Structure 1
Amino acid sequence: MPTAGRLSGAVIFALFGWYLAGLTIPFFPEANAPTFWLPVVSFIGLVVGWRICGSRAGQGYNPAIGVGLTCGVAIAFCALFALSFNQMISNALRNRYNDGTMEAVIDVFNQMIDYGTLFADGTLIATVLIGGIVCAWITEFFGQRFP
């Protein structure tokens, strides 16, 4: 059911995803991010904002802190997964997996660890956590005002 909380959560977290994707571009080798990076992370933010934050809007500002942290971590995890899955598909098309499908599936998680260490920066982590809380508070504001 569409509500103002869900709509505001989707829009705000999509913008937050776009911002986070822009912040991570310098962390890629030679600052060369994949062409899909900005739209995919924005779409992940849109889905997380609609499904997780927007559905919980209207419960108060204190619970919104936990929801914002959850949304920030969910965006980061899903973005890492999407990037790693794309890398796995690229490797599979180059015939780099000789042992079959399980090697490719396991490599997705190894790629996630590699990209996670690549993006391990205190400022970026703080931005994900604090930005998630601020976005959840804004969503909570609209969720309470326009139920």
Structure 2
Amino acid sequence: MALSYRSSMPTAARLVGAVVFAIWGFYLARLATPFFLQGQPPAIFLPACVIIGVYLGWVYVGRRLGNGYGAALGIGLTAGFVFGFLALLVVAFALMIRHAMHNRYQALSDAVLGIFDLMIAEASRFTDPTLITSLFAGAVLCAWVAEWVAQRSR
């Protein structure tokens, strides 16, 4: 399915969405730092969270803007779920690489399947109410800011 010309064009709302979601991703990465072992996340975690935020703001949220604040609420909540999943995937992938370098896997398939086991194990560490609230409330707030810009730039 091809995207229409209008939905693929850069807009002010997409730019603002990318910026606010990138800032939100940076904030969440810094907020999650104490929950890692020894308070040290993988080196790729902070840049990955910012990149995930930019992607969500530009592609996912930016494409769906202009339908009102109620729709932005749902878009923001979904973006929060996607961000959480992708951030856990990044952490699990970094741990899988570390484990693979220590020869803990017998085959490539064991390593790939190990990512999902590591995601489940790591998810239990990030069950802090402040972190979860910041994840979803921040995503909704960012979506509302982008929606506000989309309504003003028509």
- Same fold flag (TM > 0.5): yes
Q: Is 2:118 the partner of 1:73? A: no
User: Which runs of no fewer than 5 residues in structure 1 stay unpaired?
Assistant: none
In the alignment, which residue of structure 2 is the partner of 1:24?
Answer: 32
C-alpha separation in 2, matches of 1:33 and 1:128: 17
Among residues 135, 138, 150, which one is paired with 1:143 in the alignment? Answer: 150
The amino acid of 1:77's aligned partner reads F
C-alpha separation in 2, matches of 1:127 and 1:10: 18
How far 1:105 sits from its partner (Å)?
A: 1.2
How far 1:93 sits from its partner (Å)?
A: 2.1
Among residues 104, 108, 123, which one is paired with 1:101 in the alignment? Answer: 108
The TM-score normalised by the length of structure 1 is 0.95
Among residues 99, 107, 123, which one is paired with 1:116 in the alignment? Answer: 123
RMSD (CA atoms): 1.0
Q: Is 2:135 the partner of 1:128? A: yes
C-alpha separation in 2, matches of 1:34 and 1:101: 22
Task: Summarize deviations over 1:98-130 as a string: whole Å, max 9, x none.
Answer: 1x1221111100110111001111121111111
Moved over 2 A (4+): none
The TM-score normalised by the length of structure 2 is 0.91
The answer to whether the 8 A contact 1:24-1:119 is kept is yes
Q: How does 1:33-72 map to 2 (within 5 A)?
A: 33-72=41-80
SS at match of 2:77: helix
User: Which runs of no fewer than 5 residues in structure 2 stay unpaired?
Assistant: 1-8
Which deviates more from structure 2 when the two are superposed, residues 124-133 or residues 89-98? 89-98
Number of aligned residue pairs = 146
The amino acid of 2:149's aligned partner reads F
The amino acid of 1:129's aligned partner reads F
In the alignment, which residue of structure 1 is the partner of 2:98?
Answer: 90
The amino acid of 2:73's aligned partner reads I
SS at match of 2:100: helix
Percentage of pairs with the same residue: 44
The answer to whether the 8 A contact 2:53-2:83 is kept is yes
